[in-house]
Structure 1
Amino acid sequence: MSQIVSILKYEEGYRDVPFIDTLGYPTLAGGIKIGPEGASLASYIFKDPQQVGDLWMQTLIEGKIFDLKKRVPVAAALCQCNAPRADMLYSMAYQPGVKGLAGFKETLNSIAKGDFSSAADSMLNSLWARQTPARARRQAAVMRSGACESYRGLI
Structure 2
Amino acid sequence: MTDLRDIQRHLGVAPDGVLGPQTLAAISAALGAATPGPDPTTALAIEHLRKEEGTVLSAYQDHLGYWTIGTGRLIDKRRGGGISPAEDDMLLANDIAKVRAQLAVDLDTSAAWARVKDDPVRAVAMISMGFQMGVGLPGKDDAGLSGFDSTLALIAAGDFAGAAAQALKSAWAKQTPARSKRVTEMLRTGIMPRVPA
Q: Same fold (TM over 0.5)?
A: yes
Q: Could you tell me how far apart the structure 2 residues matched to 1:55 and 1:145 are? A: 29
The number of aligned residues is 115
Q: 1:141 to 1:49 in 2, by over 3 A?
A: same
1:101 equivalent to 2:145? Answer: yes
**1:57 — aligned with what?**
92
Q: Could you tell me how far apart the structure 1 residues matched to 2:82 and 2:182 are? A: 30
Identity %: 32
Among 140, 156, 159, the alignment partner of 1:112 is: 156
**2:121 — aligned with what?**
84
1:26-54 superposed Cα distances (whole Å, 9 cap, x missing partner): xxxxxxxx559xxxxx5422311121011
List gaps (5 residues or longer) in structure 2: 1-57, 68-75, 137-143
**2:50 — aligned with what?**
none
Q: 1:98 to 1:43 in 2, by over 3 A?
A: farther
Instruction: Show structure 1 runs of 4+ deviating over 6 A.
Output: none
TM-score (norm 1): 0.68
User: 5 Å matches for 1:37-48?
Assistant: 43-44=66-67, 45=76, 46-48=81-83
TM-score (norm 2): 0.54
Residue pair 2:104, 2:114 contacting (<8 A) in 1 also? no
Return the letter of the residue paired with 1:61: I
Q: Larger relative contact order (C-alpha < 8 A, sep ≥ 6)? A: 1
Q: Could you tell me how far apart the structure 2 residues matched to 1:108 and 1:101 are? A: 8
Q: Could you tell me how far apart the structure 2 residues matched to 1:87 and 1:106 are? A: 19
